[in-house]
């Protein structure tokens, strides 16, 4: 086996992963909230497309903070900083969206809300969520690697020339990886 230097996921790839993760997490959270508050067995989760941008960019910032602070501060101190960042980001993005009547959340029913854009009742959830984001999402996303594009092209050429060992015409197995020449 040759030494291959697999490339880390680009910033755009990580933004995509973080955006999708935040979006799905919010849908799951709102579904669970609906069940706990209203005993709704349909678990109707919901969010806004704005959540993709909001969570994606916010988690990229948290990722940068993590790399700066990981050797300087303990986890709980970092989580506190991430929580403060989350409140600042939630308020800022909510404030901008509210100017266009596009803010998808409204915390005015909560006792400790500020302008309906943030609420202290969510602080424990943001704190725990930031620990999960750092310890699972950010760390695992940064472990992902792409096959170098020149190697992928080389492997695709080698795979398309195999075709004699019972492989179907759309894709073949090589080194345990299915290559699809139609992709």
pLDDT score of 154: 63
How far apart CA 85 and CA 81 sit, in angstroms, is: 6
**101-114 residue pLDDT tens:** 999 999 999 999 99
CB 103 within 8 A of CB 94: yes
Average pLDDT over residues 92-107: 96
**74-87 residue pLDDT tens:** 999 999 999 999 99
Structure tokens at 24: 């799905």
Q: Looking at the predicted structure, is the pLDDT value of residue 64 above 80?
A: yes
How far apart CA 157 and CA 164 sit, in angstroms, is: 15
């Amino acid at each position: 086996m040759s030494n291959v230097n697999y490339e880390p996921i680009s910033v755009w790839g990580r933004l995509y992963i973080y955006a999708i993760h935040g979006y799905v997490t919010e849908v799951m959270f709102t579904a669970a909230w609906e069940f706990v508050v209203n005993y709704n067995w349909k678990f109707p989760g919901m969010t806004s497309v704005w959540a993709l941008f909001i969570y994606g960019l916010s988690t990229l910032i948290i990722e940068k903070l993590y790399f700066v602070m990981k050797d300087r501060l303990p986890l709980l101190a970092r989580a506190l900083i991430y929580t403060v960042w989350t409140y600042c980001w939630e308020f800022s993005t909510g404030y901008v969206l509210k100017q266009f009547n596009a803010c998808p959340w409204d915390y005015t029913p909560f006792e400790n809300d500020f302008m309906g854009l943030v609420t202290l009742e969510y602080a424990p959830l943001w704190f725990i969520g930031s620990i999960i984001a750092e310890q699972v999402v950010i760390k695992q996303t940064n472990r992902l690697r792409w096959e170098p594009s020149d190697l992928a092209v080389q492997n695709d050429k080698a795979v398309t020339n195999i075709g004699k060992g019972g492989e179907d015409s759309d894709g073949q197995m090589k080194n345990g990886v299915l290559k699809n020449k139609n992709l």
